Amino acid sequence: MKTRFNFTNRDIVSIKGFTREEIDYILEIAAAFEPLAEKGSDMLKGKVLAELFFEPSTRTRLSFETAMYKLGGNVIGFAEPGVSSVKKGETLADTVRVVENYSDVIVMRHPLEGAARFAAEYAHVPVINGGSGAEEHPTQALLDLYTILKAKGRIDGLNIALMGDLRYGRTVHSLAYALSLYDVKLNMVSPELLRMRTEVLEDIKTRIDVTEHRDVEDILPELDVLYVTRIQKERFPDLGEYEKVRGTYKVDLDLLRNAKDDLVVLHPLPRVDEIAVEVDSTPFAKYFEQTRNGVIVRMALLALVLGAIKE
């Protein structure tokens, strides 16, 4: 496998650090890794991944862990800070300076925006952002793009909607930045309270057309991809505000009657009630495939930042 870009020891903190060519390259490496997800490899034998999760996770943590094991590496870490010395008052900087002595790469999830960048400044091993507050989730965006590419055969030319909590949902921030590097039409669908962050909109509008909508019905028949998100109750400073928007959207069979036959419905998961279970068994639903693709893409990322892919 040829390397066109050098990712060795590179931090993955924000999707904004990537060019389109670099993202396309990562997606190509991921596609080449598909067979390894089945048969495994010893490409990362002797390497250690440290997972520092200061917030709950199922997919990000376990898929990174699976990815590392599939490539022959090992995993250490904690799934919640209560079992670490953070509980005794150890700082994030000290935690990182200690853990880098035990590991070759760190994946970190933290409730604070900027935490991943802060950790990357202290660590001498690469830091991968597994979700930083409501800010970004760059590896989720990469697996989202990979899923779109697999499902539709292309990203350019697609009409895509991001729907739900565009204010507090970190996955849609990273995905919006990433999609703006492609020739797509992007629609933001949300209640007024949960509109896409201004700084994201201003940035991506310099590259692509973006429209904003309250009702998905207005655009559904033209969509190729509908990316649904959970309303992030835990990030609302005032639960009264959450109650105003709770249950705003529900994707069900009735709604999807007006969709293209080949519409792809994605969701970073976990879902609460924004996609009805009845949708799961339809060809629209690609959100569980999305979780499998997370392993493939994270295998590619670990191999890249650990320098396992050579000319």
Clarify whether 124 is annotated catalytic.
no
Task: Tell the smallest beta-carbon distance from residue 264 to ligand CP (Å).
Answer: 17
Q: Is 140 in the site for ligand CP (CB under 6 A)?
A: yes
59, 61, 150, 267: which one is catalytic?
A: 59
Task: Tell the smallest beta-carbon distance from residue 222 to ligand CP (Å).
Answer: 27
Q: Which of 103/293 has CB closer to ligand CP?
A: 293
Task: Tell the smallest beta-carbon distance from residue 5 to ligand CP (Å).
Answer: 25
For ligand CP, the binding residue among 47, 59, 110, 173 (CB under 6 A) is: 59
Q: Is 147 in the site for ligand CP (CB under 6 A)?
A: no
2, 88, 257, 310: which one is catalytic?
A: 88
| Per-residue contact flags (x/-) with ligand CP for residues 30 to 49, judged by CB under 6 A | --------------------
Task: Tell the smallest beta-carbon distance from residue 226 to ligand CP (Å).
Answer: 17
Q: In whole angstroms, what is the distance from residue 29 CA to residue 24 CA?
A: 9
Q: Which of 130/308 has CB closer to ligand CP?
A: 130
Clarify whether 39 is annotated catalytic.
no
Nearest residue to 50 via CA among 68, 75, 70: 75
| Per-residue contact flags (x/-) with ligand CP for residues 61 to 90, judged by CB under 6 A | ------------------------------
Please work out the total of residues on this chain that contact ligand CP, with binding judged by CB under 6 A. 10
Q: Which of 113/222 has CB closer to ligand CP?
A: 113
Q: In whole angstroms, what is the distance from residue 157 CA to residue 49 CA?
A: 37
Q: Which of 107/259 has CB closer to ligand CP?
A: 107
Clarify whether 198 is annotated catalytic.
no
Task: Tell the smallest beta-carbon distance from residue 221 to ligand CP (Å).
Answer: 28
Q: Is 57 in the site for ligand CP (CB under 6 A)?
A: yes
Site for ligand CP in 250-289 (CB under 6 A): 268-270
Please list, residue by residue across 35-67, b when 16 or more beta carbons sit within 10 angstroms of its beta carbon and e when fewer do: ebbeeebebbeebbbbbbbbbebebbbebbbbb
Assign 3-class secondary structure to the chain. CCCCCCCCCCCECCHHHCCHHHHHHHHHHHHHHHHHHHHCCCCCCCCEEEEEECCCCCHHHHHHHHHHHHCCCEEEEECCHHHCHHHHCCCHHHHHHHHCCCCCEEEEEECCCCHHHHHHHHCCCCEEEEEECCCECHHHHHHHHHHHHHHHCCCCCCEEEEECCCCCCHHHHHHHHHHCCCCCEEEEECCHHHCCCHHHHHHHCCCCCEEEECCHHHCHHHCCEEEECCCCHHHCCCHHHHHHHCCCCCECHHHHCCCCCCCEEECCCCCCCCECHHHCCCCCECHHHHHHHHHHHHHHHHHHHCCCCCC
109, 150, 230, 267: which one is catalytic?
A: 109
Clarify whether 137 is annotated catalytic.
yes
Clarify whether 152 is annotated catalytic.
no
Which of the stretches 9-17, 51-59, 81-89, 254-262 binds ligand CP when contact is defined by CB under 6 A? 51-59
Residue ranges binding ligand CP (CB under 6 A): 57-60, 131, 137, 140, 268-270
Active site residues: 59-60, 88, 109, 137
